[in-house]
Amino acid sequence: MKFCYFDESGMGDEPVLVVAGIDVDASRMRTTRKDWADFLESLSLRTGRPVDEFHTRNFYRGNRLSRTINGNERAEVISAILDWLAVRRHRITFSAILKSRFESARTDPRLKDLGTPWSAAAFHCVLTLQRAHQELKGSRRQTVLIFDREVAEEDRFSELIKDPPDWSREFYGLPRDTAPLDTLLEAPLFADSRLVLLIQVADMVAYLLRFHAELQEGLSQESYPGEREQIEEWAVRILGMSLPFDLRYPDRRPEGSCALFWDLAPEVLRR
């Protein structure tokens, strides 16, 4: 069985939104959760105050509890987390949306089905997981989706997963007599990231990919010399752990029903 833990970055005024998920095999979850709990404990010792949740934006910028850790040390911690993620061999799924493109395409009936940039990105991630898991056998293909709480989106998104639009079948290509999204074991679950630790890992992935896209597309500026290159290095590592490109963007034809996910994405994250 698979569990995929999701979080997002870019729900404010940022020009790019990224939803990212950590795809975990159930047989390796216990060790992964313990490792992350141990990491939070070590961070608590480092800051001198209890840390029960890792917020990448605050940590990277040296805000709140992380202000006692200098920039080089914070960079080392982020690199170490990526090292750990690679060793654990969990795969990453993500979807990136340039918000200006979403706004320009709002009259597209497919986007009316999806509703919001968050829902579009989250649904794209779910379609990618379906495509990745549907060739597995037996219980190994069953997937549970666990999202960070997003109160304004939860009911609508659950209905979207329950009754996905017909055009979305083209993304993964199952026969018509097969139930849509048939790898999903349950409706999406929404949880507090403070209690579900792997959502915090997804938060880091989403933040770094979003900031990378904004820097590369000229939508954000460096706050120190070399920041662009540092973020790019981390993003390249994340992309190397992500589900293959052709699973994320199987349809890039101008007339393709699912090509909108390609059309909405920043160029740098299409590569």
185 vs 241: CA distance, rounded Å: 24
Q: Which two tokens stand for residue 144?
A: 């549970």
Residue 76 belongs to some domain of the structure: no
**Total domain count, the chain:** 1
81 vs 102: CA distance, rounded Å: 32
Q: State residue 122's pLDDT score.
A: 98
Residue 153 belongs to some domain of the structure: yes
For residue 160, pLDDT over 90 is answered with: yes
Write out pLDDT tens, residues 8-64: 999 999 999 999 999 998 877 677 777 777 877 877 776 666 666 677 888 888 776
Write out pLDDT tens, residues 59-106: 888 776 566 677 788 888 888 889 888 888 889 999 999 999 999 999
Residue 74 belongs to some domain of the structure: no
Residue 21 belongs to some domain of the structure: yes
97 vs 191: CA distance, rounded Å: 23
Residue 202 belongs to some domain of the structure: yes
Q: What's the distance, CA 265 to chain centroid?
A: 14
Residue 209 makes CB contacts below 8 A (sequence gap 6+) with 9, 18, 20, 94, 96, 235, 238, 269
- 143-148 and 2-9 as β-strands: parallel, antiparallel, unpaired? parallel
Comparing 141 with 41, the larger pLDDT belongs to: 141
Residue 85 belongs to some domain of the structure: no
Domain ranges, residue 223 = 2-28+91-269
For residue 134, pLDDT over 70 is answered with: yes
208 vs 214: CA distance, rounded Å: 10
| Average predicted confidence (pLDDT) for the chain | 89
- Which of the residue ranges 135-139, 143-147, 177-181 has the most confident prediction, judged by mean pLDDT? 143-147
Residue 54 belongs to some domain of the structure: no
Q: State residue 52's pLDDT score.
A: 65
Residue 140 belongs to some domain of the structure: yes
